[in-house]
Amino acid sequence: MPELPEVETVVRELNRKLKNKTIKSVEVLLPKIVSLGPGTVSPKRQVSSSKVSKFIRLLKGQKIRLVARRAKLLIFDFYRGTRAPNLTRSSGTLSQVGEGVGERQVNQNTELTTLRQMGVKIDGSLAMLVHLKMTGQFIYLKKTQLNKKIRILNKANASLLLMPCKYTHVIFSFTDGSKLFFNDLRQFGYLKLVADSELDCVKELKDFGYEPLDKSFTLEKYLEIVKTRPNGKIKQVLMDPKLVAGIGNIYSDEILFHAGVRPGRKVSSLKHQVLGMIFNEIKRVLRKGIETKGSSVGDFIRTDGSWGRMGKYHYVYGRAGQECKKCGTIVKSEKFNGRTGSFCPSCQV
């Protein structure tokens, strides 16, 4: 599953490519991928044709003001007209955006405040929240690139495919002839359209913990939250999105390797100095992941179809049974609630 560096890579690329583009049309090829309103999206969801039509109708003619991120969620902010608005008041619920009135107004407080603290201003009338889940991908092609073939699976022998392909579920066409394709092999991802005023009602957003690269995530805050789980294993604590957002199996392995800590250690067994080393590696390793455009393991690819380079710098993740790059000891693995953690028994104690 894409983690913070992968999602941040997609966000930065899409923000650069899509800003101020106008949506000419939207094609929804798999209805269950799209959703309306702030409610939780069920993995067994069924979406009516009327909701799909509304999703398309609301997006047609919208301009993309920005693409942002909260944890592993992408946030597309839209506006209409010739200038991006700078609103300070709520814009109503989704049913009120081009659909009349009737639902109660929702106050914008907690989550919008969090986003603004990160330097992200959600000021249009509509937002689209996207979770890539396991295999979601965005591919952007200019008008002159529509015949480009993409290898959407991270295997050297995987076929090169024209877009759209059988894994494409939503297509955004822009007025300049370019297109954005949402692919998802396993179909767990979703695109959820909400009014900006409803962001505080989105459970996924409310449940996220600290952004690990934000200035507000200090050593003091980190020590405070990890010590609430004294009996928790450090890898699982790092991966808990309610404490720290965006760290998953890949980066928790790499963070702990560079900090010299085994993933099964309980928080209570770690001295203040060791916890401080982990804190420093959280920021360093995640920044390295962003710098190298993410880890192209699983099915993560960048928005132009190329692969991220972070996998070249993995010391332990996915390397169980191989020699440690640092000391030559065989890397071992261990299960943590169904997830496999890898570590070097010599470099990590």
**Residue 90 within any structural domain of the chain:** yes
User: Where among 206, 232, 248 does a domain terminate?
Assistant: 206
CA–CA gap between residue 80 and residue 335 (Å, rounded): 49
Q: Residue 337: what pLDDT?
A: 87
Give the domain range for residue 326: 219-343
pLDDT at 1: 84
What is the reported pLDDT for 277? 98
CATH of the domain at 272: 1.10.8.50
pLDDT, position 298: 72
CA-based nearest residue to 124, from 214, 72, 58:
58
Are 42 and 189 members of one domain?
A: yes
Binned average pLDDT, 10 residues per bin, the chain of 349 residues: 96 97 98 94 89 97 96 94 43 36 33 53 80 96 98 88 98 98 96 91 92 96 96 97 97 98 98 98 98 90 96 96 98 93 98
Distances (CA, A) of 22 to 61, 69, 173, 176, 328: 6, 21, 9, 8, 54
Structural contact between residues 265 and 233, judged by C-beta atoms closer than 8 angstroms: yes
Pair 161, 243 in one domain: no
Nearest to 115 by CA among 160, 67, 153, 154: 67
Same domain, 308 and 284: yes
- Residues 311 and 244 both lie in one domain: yes
Instruction: For residues 32 and 115, state if they share a domain.
Output: yes
pLDDT at 121: 56
- Whether 186 and 118 share a structural domain: yes
Q: Which pTM value belongs to this model?
A: 0.89
Together in a domain, 293 and 193: no
What pLDDT score does 102 carry? 26
CATH value at residue 192: 3.20.190.10
**Domains: count for the chain:** 2
Q: Which of 144, 175, 206 is the last residue of a domain?
A: 206
